Amino acid sequence: MDTPATGLTFRDATDADVDALVALVESAYRGDSSRTGWTTEADILEGQRTDPQGVLEVIKGSESRVLTVERDGRIVACCQLEHRGDHAYFGMFAVSPALQGSGLGKIVMAEAERLVRETWGATEMRMTVISAREDLIAWYERRGYRRTGKTQPFPYGDERFGIPLRPDLRFELLVKPLV
C-alpha cells in the first residue's frame, strides 16, 4: 500500500529484505547507533536483538508476516505480525533511530492493526515488552494497549535474545481490543 501523504510504502517482506531488516532492528535497539533514538535497550541488553534465521522464519511462516515500511526505496520501519486464532501478535517493531519521534511509529501501528483486523479478523492485538521498559510501555498505553500483569521470564542464557546486563528482566503481556 502506498501512502502518498507520508511518502511511505507498506508491503510484506521478502527473503531479499532479511539483511536490511536485521540491520534496522539492531540499529533501533542495540549498540551505540540505537542511542540516537529513544527505543534503545543498550543499557539493559548487549548482543543481538534478532538474526537472519529468525527474521526469515517469520517471513516464511504460514501464519506470520513482516510488515515492511519503505520511504524513498529504503526500509525505515518494520513489525512482525502473527495470526494466533482470534488475536494477532505484534513484535519485532523497529523504526529507524533517525525517524523515531516523528510519528512514524504511530502510523505503522495503525496500519498493522488495520491489516490484522481486515486480513485475519483479529479482535485483539497482543505483544510482550520487557517490563523494565517503562517509557516504551507508556508509549503503547497511549496507543490503547493495556498492561495485563501477566509476565514470562526473560530467556537468560539464550544469546539469540541478547545478553542481559541486569538480573530482573521479564516480559509483560500488553493487549489492545481491535473491535
Q: Which of 16, 96, 84, 93 is nearest to 49 (CA)?
A: 93
Q: Is the dihedral of CA 143, 114, 57, 79 positive or negative?
A: negative
Tell me the range of 41-55, 62-76, 148-162 where mean pLDDT is highest: 62-76
Selected residue with higher pLDDT from 146 and 159: 146
Percent of the chain whose pLDDT exceeds 90: 78
Global pTM reads: 0.91
> Taking 60 as the threshold, does the pLDDT of residue 107 lie above it?
yes
Higher pLDDT, 11 or 37: 11
Domain boundaries, the chain: 2-127
Q: How far apart are CA 94 and CA 41, in angstroms?
A: 12
Residues 2-127, CATH architecture: 3-Layer(aba) Sandwich (3.40)
79 vs 29, more confident:
79
Nine cell digits for residue 52: 537472519
Give the angle subtended at the CA of 170 by the CAs of 164 and 175, to the nearest 5°. Answer: 135
Mean pLDDT over each residue of the chain, to the nearest integer: 92
pLDDT of 171 strictly over 80: yes
Higher pLDDT, 144 or 3: 144
Mean pLDDT of 139-150: 97
Q: Which residue in 95, 115, 116 sits closest to 105, CA to CA?
A: 95
**Stretch 90-104: mean pLDDT, rounded?**
94
pLDDT exceeds cutoff 50 at 91: yes
